């Protein structure tokens, strides 16, 4: 059976094959140009939904990474501010220790008032720190300055709301610290007002003098009213008795050294006026409280007592003389009255042990030359005398304990400096310690947030890489495969053109014949 194939039919077959070859080549060229396997929905309808899902996940992950970056700005700024606050409090501690010690003078206390004022202003600047116009310590009231002064009172104007940020699909993080936490702590404190530094005696180590600051070994010069000058080398002395022995031997008894009757310092006696000086620009005499000139035949040195410790005997504390043994005091705390009997106590450590046993959660802290009561919660408490021994008054802890106050503490310190009240200055030390503890806790808390942000950023970066790799498998073209397919498509198209041109050429010649 003969079948006739017309030229028209043959032409349509050739043109169709040519167009298909051209279309395949153009598709490969587009893939090679965009390096994408899927350029529109028609390329791979199944892959389109997967690609859209990966694009959505990558966009969300990018938002989380942006949140982490923005969050780090606030957290890092808070860390700098808290460390600045810690430095200010360290400066306050230096002032309080210096001006409550025996070396403080009226002039130094007047100068310290100015220093404290400057530190208050510095604290205000730090607490009102803003980043990009947002205040760090004002809660969610980012545009409101958190702290403002009204006379001698500092007022907190922010709120206690948390600022949170999404740092992952199922995680969020609190970024801010409320400023009012710096106006109090989670404890209540009653600072003692009685000097608990023990008297010095012959066995007192020289390294313990001056509230634990020690002394400067070296030589001193002693000059009597008769004109005799003695150079005394004290560098080998270890105890107060060593000093006494060395001085008395060096002067052959012309100028004698002894301990003052109240045990607070040293005393020189001889034909006056007595002159005590340094040799080779040393600081030995000053560290022993003896640098100067006497008005008569005796020179009464300044207070150089050691600091109080748990081992300090109550009998060695001058302020307790005539009040031992102690008795009972009453503490009202958390809605209950507690009678605390100190009658068996012989050391400051015994006071701590007795109180801890009578009232769990309340402690006696010993710092420098004072003691204080600290309750383990911010609830206020009161301490009163319970018998004729007036124990609470004798120990200087009669009164009310309350949560510590940052600016209130500084005002108390200024008042103590203004009036020259060393007991009041010492009373500030405990409150200062608790504020420092609060700041250290906040620094650690904020440091944990910085660590969490580092961890979140690492996880998000890994997730971003994984999502983009999965998207690439669906979306991107295989370079080697595209190059090979494009070469093949070009060859196929060229072959189709060649065949078509030859067939059309042959038909035209036949037609002309």
pTM (predicted TM-score)? 0.56
Cα-based torsion angle of the residue sequence 191, 360, 319, 262 in order, rounded to the nearest 10 degrees: -110
DSSP-derived letter for residue 162 is P
Give the whole-angstrom CA distance, residue 476 versus residue 47.
11
**Residue 179: its pLDDT value, please?**
83
What pLDDT does 54 receive? 81
**Closest Cα to residue 140, out of 83, 197, 179?**
179
pLDDT (0 to 100) of residue 304: 92
Judge contact between 308 and 351, C-beta under 8 A. no
Neighbour-count burial of 480, counting CB atoms closer than 10 A to its CB (0-12 exposed, 13-18 middle, 19+ buried): exposed
Report pLDDT for 185: 44
Q: Looking at 308-421, list the stretches that DSSP marks H as alpha helix, in order from N- to C-terminal side.
A: 348-358, 391-395, 406-419
Q: Give the three-state DSSP class for 105.
A: coil
Q: What is the DSSP letter of 193?
A: -
Residue 218: predicted pLDDT: 92
**Residue 473: C-alpha distances to residues 32, 39, 88, 486 (Å):** 16, 14, 57, 20
Q: Comparing C-alpha atoms, which of 200, 243, 205, 238 is closest to residue 369? A: 200
Q: What are the residue boundaries of the structural domains of the chain, listed by start?
A: 52-183+405-464, 204-301, 312-399, 478-512
In this prediction, residue 384 carries a pLDDT of 95
Give Cβ neighbours of residue 394 (< 8 Å, ≥ 6 apart).
194, 319, 320, 323, 326
Q: At what angle do helices 45-100 and 422-475 cross, to 10 degrees?
A: 170
Question: Residue 168: CA atoms inside 13 Å, Cβ hemisphere, count?
Answer: 16
CA distances from 440 to 83, 291, 428, 469 (A): 9, 40, 18, 44
In a structure prediction context, what are the per-residue pLDDT tens digits for the chain, which is 513 residues long? 566 656 666 667 666 666 676 666 667 666 666 666 666 656 667 777 787 888 888 898 899 899 999 999 999 999 999 999 999 999 999 999 888 877 788 888 889 999 999 998 899 999 999 988 899 988 888 888 888 876 666 777 888 788 888 888 777 888 888 887 776 545 677 878 888 999 999 999 999 998 888 898 999 999 998 889 999 999 999 999 999 999 999 999 999 999 999 999 999 999 989 999 888 878 899 899 888 888 889 999 989 999 899 999 999 999 999 999 999 999 999 889 999 999 999 999 999 999 999 999 888 888 778 888 888 777 789 999 999 999 999 999 998 887 767 888 888 888 889 888 888 888 788 778 878 878 887 898 888 889 888 888 888 888 888 888 887 777 666 666 666 766 776 677 677 677 666 666 655 555 555
**How many other C-beta atoms are found inside a 10 Å radius of the C-beta of residue 12?**
11
CATH topology of domain 52-183+405-464: f41 fragment of flagellin, N-terminal domain (1.20.1330)
CA 406 from centre of chain:
15
Give pLDDT tens digits for 436-465: 878 887 898 888 889 888 888 888 888 888
């Amino acid at each position: 059976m003969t079948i006739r194939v017309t030229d028209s039919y043959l032409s349509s077959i050739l043109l169709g094959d040519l167009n298909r070859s051209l279309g395949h080549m153009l598709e490969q060229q587009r893939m090679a140009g965009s390096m994408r396997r899927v350029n529109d929905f028609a390329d791979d309808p199944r892959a389109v939904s997967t690609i859209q899902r990966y694009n959505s996940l990558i966009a969300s992950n990018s938002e989380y990474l942006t949140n982490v970056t923005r969050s780090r700005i606030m957290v890092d700024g808070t860390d700098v501010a808290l460390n600045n606050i810690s430095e200010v409090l360290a400066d306050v501690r230096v002032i309080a220790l210096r001006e409550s010690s025996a070396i403080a003078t009226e002039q130094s206390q007047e100068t310290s008032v100015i220093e404290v004022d400057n530190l208050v202003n510095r604290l205000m600047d730090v607490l009102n720190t803003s980043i990009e116009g947002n205040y760090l310590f004002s809660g969610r009231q980012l545009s409101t300055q958190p702290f403002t002064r009204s006379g001698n009172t500092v007022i907190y104007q922010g709120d206690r709301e948390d600022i949170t940020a999404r740092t992952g699909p199922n995680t969020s993080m609190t970024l801010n610290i409320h400023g009012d936490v710096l106006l109090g702590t989670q404890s209540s404190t009653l600072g003692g007002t009685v000097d608990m530094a023990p008297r010095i005696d012959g066995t007192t180590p020289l390294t313990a003098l001056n509230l634990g600051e020690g002394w400067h070994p070296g030589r001193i010069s002693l000059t009597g009213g008769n004109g005799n000058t003695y150079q005394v080398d004290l560098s080998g002395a270890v105890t107060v008795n060593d000093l006494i022995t060395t001085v008395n031997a060096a002067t052959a008894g012309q100028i004698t050294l002894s301990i003052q009757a109240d045990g607070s310092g040293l005393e020189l006696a001889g034909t006056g006026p007595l002159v005590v000086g340094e040799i080779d620009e040393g600081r030995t005499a000053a560290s022993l409280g003896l640098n100067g000139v006497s008005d008569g035949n005796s020179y009464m040195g300044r207070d150089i007592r050691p600091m109080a410790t748990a081992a300090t005997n109550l009998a060695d504390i001058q302020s307790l003389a005539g009040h031992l043994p102690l008795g009972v005091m009453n503490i009202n705390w958390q809605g209950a009255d507690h009678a605390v009997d100190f009658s068996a106590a012989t050391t400051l450590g015994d006071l701590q042990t007795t109180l801890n046993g009578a009232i769990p959660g309340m402690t006696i802290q010993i710092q420098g030359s004072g003691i204080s009561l600290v309750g383990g919660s911010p609830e206020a408490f009161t301490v009163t005398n319970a018998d004729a021994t007036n124990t609470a008054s004798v120990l200087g802890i009669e009164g009310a304990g309350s949560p510590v106050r940052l600016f209130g503490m500084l005002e108390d310190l200024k008042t103590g400096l203004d009036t020259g009240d060393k007991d009041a200055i010492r009373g500030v030390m405990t409150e200062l310690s608790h504020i420092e503890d609060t700041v250290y806790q906040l620094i650690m808390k904020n440091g944990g947030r910085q660590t969490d942000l580092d961890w979140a950023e690492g996880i998000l970066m890994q997730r971003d890489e994984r999502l983009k790799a999965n998207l690439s498998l669906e979306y991107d073209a295989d370079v080697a495969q595209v190059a090979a397919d494009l070469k093949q498509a070009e060859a196929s198209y060229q072959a189709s053109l060649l065949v078509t041109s030859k067939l059309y050429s042959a038909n035209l010649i036949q037609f002309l014949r």
